Amino acid sequence: MQLGLRFYGALKDHLGEVKHIELADGSCVEDLRSMLVLEKPAAAPVLQVSAFAVDDRLAPATTRLKHGDRVDVLPPFSGG
């Protein structure tokens, strides 16, 4: 299946802003996180604590992905 990814903050520096990837059918958010860590080990510390939003909804690690999903990878942030 093909997914569109968007990265923010420090992840954007490591992985670029937008990326399209192929992932095996039946994969979940945690599978995606693992694939990204393997692709860019330097980003692992940030990826391990990042939130994933699938089609604008925060998604737990067990969320199954489907072809065409748009995934936003959100590093920790704070604001005021």
pLDDT, position 2: 96
Contacts of residue 16, defined as CB under 8 A and 6 or more positions apart, other chains included, come to 7
How many helices and strands (H and E) does the chain possess?
Answer: 3, 5
Decide if 48 is inside a domain.
Answer: yes
Decide if 57 is inside a domain.
Answer: yes
pLDDT, position 77: 79
Task: Kindly give the parts of the chain with pLDDT less than 50.
Answer: none
Domain of 43 in residue numbering reads as 2-74
pTM exceeds 0.85: yes
pLDDT, position 29: 98
pLDDT, position 80: 53
Tokens in use for 61?
């690690």
CATH number at residue 11: 3.10.20.30
